[in-house]
Structure 1
Amino acid sequence: MTDLYGFDLATAVVPRPGDPSAYDAELHEGWRMHKAVNGGLLMALAGRVLAAELGGSSQGHPDPFAISAYYMSAALPGPATVRTETLKRGRSLSTGVASILQGGEERLRVMATYGDLDSHDASDVRTSATPPEMPPPEECAGREAAPPDFLKQAPILDRIDLRLDPATAGWTVGRPTGRGLVQGWFRLPDGREPDLLLLLLAADALPPTSFDFGIAGWTPTLELTVHVRAKPAPGWLRLKQSTRNFAHGYLEEDAEVWDSAGRLVAQSRQLARVLMPTQ
């Protein structure tokens, strides 16, 4: 039963009686990064509601294909409301929007296109992308390698099992490479296997690439888009995140999520603002 897992509890919703477009949720303290709940967790919460809305009929579309989120204010631990609207129902694709609100203030707005990945031919793949090369998980750096001050602000690290490639984790010991690259292994420590919703969390699970520039400030996401390409196989996910341009306090980050079968199962891009410790 998936409701035994922390991730599923953190993204659980309850339909509001008498209001078919509203769901009640609880944002958990344990998924916080700095002051705010992790952006990938919020996207997964909205994604779960949209899957129910767009995939509910006999010819529904339960799987996210493209999902874009705009983060308007920091989502804090506590009660929240998710509101949805279906914009279009088509033969192969449907589109909807979802908003997460707290105290009447909109924290996040998502627009997404959903379909049915099971209708795709799994052999129909042509790609030049290759999985990131890194040591096995047991030879990579876990949460114990993170600076103590960082751990105090990141209780989410107790909810995920993230192992960073030592070649991209020099910033943890004061030796950033300056390449703007972070990569590593990802899974949930409670044994929950990856699915499409977990891919949305994984796309925002790595530390910000600004750390690899030696910049230790908090990096809130302004916009995040995830393209889901396939249902992941069980086991570890491999994550790669990079930036090519950090300017004027903002950076873009491109991420890849690879499953244990060596398939590129999700891609993402986000724009984030780098706040210095005094901001």
Structure 2
Amino acid sequence: MFGEYRPEDLKRVKEIELEILIEFIRICEKHDLKYFAYGGTAIGAVRHKGFIPWDDDVDVAMVRDEYEKFISIAMKELGEEYELTAGNIQMDCSAVFARISKKGTLHITEQENRWKRKHGIRIDIFPMDFVPEDKQEFKKMISKVRFWRGLYIIKNIRNPLFENGGWKDKAIRTACFIMHYLLKLVPVKFIVKKMMDSYRAYEGKSTLVDCLDDNYPEKWVCSLDDIYPLQKGEFEGVSISLMHRNHEMLVKGYGDYMELPPESERENHYQGFLEF
């Protein structure tokens, strides 16, 4: 059943996510890898010194080279109770970016339920990729990333979820269904390679980075000077890294983030299938 959390379930989800975050930070500190809180987690660290009360996830980010180092190390370093997944590793994950999940748990939204691979309670780890300074080139890059990411999704599932249910959604759903079967002729490795090439197309060509997996990537374009040197914040009693210009980036992304939104806008991802 898909719907809102029971308060006790949301509390338990946060407890497990915090446990995973501590394991993530342990690996980063052991190997001197640089990460920082991202999105709602960065807001939570400043405004609440922890989780946003109604939020249900933990997001961190790493510049691509640090991210790739983490992936290679974490495959060996993670405790046996955790699992690392990413679209370019297993090639059948609902998320292209990396996730660390707690084995033996289940946390699946309605969209994710359409995928064969099921995720547990987890934290999300986003790569920050280099992007062009020219706005038109930036738009082209975003379009290319979304094209290959879209093919990756359709390759894996034949019926992506669309919210509105209107005739346009039905037409797109039909096209996805047809494409899914046509893509059986295309190896998933080929699609994944093209997808990853699109993410990394501007490495060594720009000084700007961005989270291309964000729904609004134009809000998160920044320089390395905006990120480094990192500063420290607090998250549920744990020391967590924040961007150097964390405040400026949160204002850019959210406006007056210190003001609580109206109750009607206090949303999370909502539970789907949830097991502890």
TM-score for both structures, normalised by structure 2: 0.26
Higher RCO, 1 or 2 (CA under 8 Å, sep at least 6)? 2
Q: Determine which structure has the larger strand proportion and give its number.
A: 1
TM-score for both structures, normalised by structure 1: 0.26
